[in-house]
Amino acid sequence: MSVYSNPGVHTGSVNFDQLSIVPEDNQTLGMDSSSEDSSYKNRPNTFLLFAFVLEFLILLFVIVLEYFLRFTDVFPVRKVNFNCSDESISFSSADSSYDDFAFNANIPSSVVMTLSFCVPPVVIIIGELSVWAFNSQHQKGVNIICNHCTLPQLVRRLLRFIGVFLFGALLTLVFTDVTKIMTGRLRPNFLEVCQPNQTMCRLMSSQTDATCTASNRDDIRNARLSFPSLHASVTSFSAIYLVIYIHGTITTHHVRIMQPFLSLTFVILSLLCGYSRVGRYQSHWTDVLAGFILGPLMALYLGVYVLNSFQERMSGKQLYTKLKYFMEEQSAKEAKDSYKEEKLSRSVYLKETLTENHAPPRDFGIPRPIVRLDSSDTDSRLRPHDTFQRELRRSVNNHQRRTSYNSNTNHSHM
């Protein structure tokens, strides 16, 4: 087996498209094998189109599911009774200490969703265009439907990375909204939104939504969806996804500050968004913490395990390890096969010998181990095991002669 790679491949990484493992016998096949391989490589990949359509339908399904979870009452919220004297839900947004901040640190949900869904695709597009423009390696395309319908590697990577991001962001929204609906935890400013009837609060200790005098039922429903924090989960997912993309794409050693600067910028913006929810009494700190756990876990799973850290190539160390394991397995297999063949040949030889002679030959003996004599040992005296071998051979010969003599005597008497 021979391993070869095209010239011009970077030594730190190996491109799968430029690496081939073929048997040595293929060198003697001539032009027929090369033409067959080229025709196989140029064959249209119809499965890629089928997978794209299937994943697009899955993405549409997740979008429809999120629409029903967030904007309709198809999935009702768990109703938790409250007490008007409960201090954990008696805070007011006017009591926040962020009055000196820009916009009073009040970030609307529409702005958070827009930035979380738009900034990562823009960064990915800029990154992929930079890779396409400044990378000297060959960009491999894939044929779809026909040999002339080629999908460039740039478009393929954009569709894959942006599609996985949209799927992960929507799935994060679905998990967050399902948890909100199932728990129904009240926000810290619930009483401010609900505006309960004070007379009923004094009469009964446990209150329901009937006590609320606010006319906007959507705001009351939203006040029951505190755990986990949607702002924290979505922004942290987008930030960690971009961090993995930046470190997986910008692999040059000449850039030392750009990677940490961009990565930490997105992470800090996500943290500030979560802190503002706690400071304005719109979420509990445990809600924000749960969101910061859910979002990064989803981003790590999709970025590292699904997209292989956005890498098209395998590093030289990983390739060496895989080849080493492969060669060890091949060596063990060859040794096992040779041992079986040698054992089989010995058994066949002994069987044929015993079948032809029906008895051991006269010169049959036990093989002796090789004894190496020192250069100073010129004496030809036998070792103890040589004496045993000689005595054993002599006994076998005597037994064979007696057997032959007895058989001849019996024939003469007859």
Q: How confident is the model at residue 363 (pLDDT cuts 50, 70, 90)?
A: very low
Of the candidates 263, 277, 267, the one whose C-alpha atom is nearest the C-alpha of residue 230 is: 277
Q: What is the mean pLDDT of residues 49-73?
A: 92
pLDDT attached to residue 40 = 46
pLDDT attached to residue 205 = 79
Q: What is the mean pLDDT of residues 366-384?
A: 50
| Element spanning 15, H or E | strand 13-15
Of these ranges, 43-47, 90-94, 182-186, 398-402, the one predicted with the greatest mean pLDDT is 182-186
pLDDT attached to residue 297 = 96
pLDDT score of 100 more than 80: no
266 or 309: which leads in pLDDT: 266
Q: How confident is the model at residue 16 (pLDDT cuts 50, 70, 90)?
A: very low
pLDDT attached to residue 356 = 55
pLDDT attached to residue 141 = 66
Q: How confident is the model at residue 73 (pLDDT cuts 50, 70, 90)?
A: confident
pLDDT attached to residue 47 = 77
Task: List b or e across 110-144, with b for residues whose CB sees 16 or more CB atoms inside 10 angstroms.
Answer: eebbebbbebbeebbeebbeebeeeeebeeeeebb
pLDDT score of 242 more than 90: yes
pLDDT score of 107 more than 90: no
pLDDT attached to residue 355 = 63
User: Is the separation of the CB atoms in 228 and 179 below 8 Å?
Assistant: yes
Q: What are phi and psi of 207, to 5 degrees?
A: -120, 160
pLDDT score of 308 more than 60: yes
pLDDT attached to residue 345 = 75
391 or 111: which leads in pLDDT: 111
Q: How confident is the model at residue 350 (pLDDT cuts 50, 70, 90)?
A: low
Per the document, the length of the chain is: 414
Q: What is the pLDDT of residues 125-183, one digit of tens each?
A: 999 898 888 776 666 666 676 666 777 888 888 999 999 999 999 999 999 999 999 99
99 or 217: which leads in pLDDT: 217
151 or 62: which leads in pLDDT: 62
Question: How far is residue 356 from each of residues 309, 312, 361, 400, 414, measured CA to CA in Å?
Answer: 69, 65, 10, 17, 28
User: If you average pLDDT over every residue of the chain, what do you get?
Assistant: 77
User: Is the separation of the CB atoms in 86 and 194 below 8 Å?
Assistant: no
pLDDT attached to residue 204 = 83
258 or 254: which leads in pLDDT: 258
Of the candidates 49, 107, 391, the one whose C-alpha atom is nearest the C-alpha of residue 273 is: 107
Q: How confident is the model at residue 29 (pLDDT cuts 50, 70, 90)?
A: very low
Q: What is the mean pLDDT of residues 396-401?
A: 78
Report the SS3 class of residue 13.
strand
Of the chain, the percentage scoring pLDDT greater than 70 comes to: 70
pLDDT score of 52 more than 70: yes
pLDDT score of 95 more than 90: no
Q: What is the mean pLDDT of residues 288-298?
A: 96
Of the chain, the percentage scoring pLDDT greater than 90 comes to: 30
pLDDT attached to residue 142 = 66
pLDDT attached to residue 299 = 95
d(Cα 62, Cα 392) in Å, to the nearest integer? Answer: 86
pLDDT attached to residue 121 = 95
d(Cα 170, Cα 68) in Å, to the nearest integer? Answer: 13
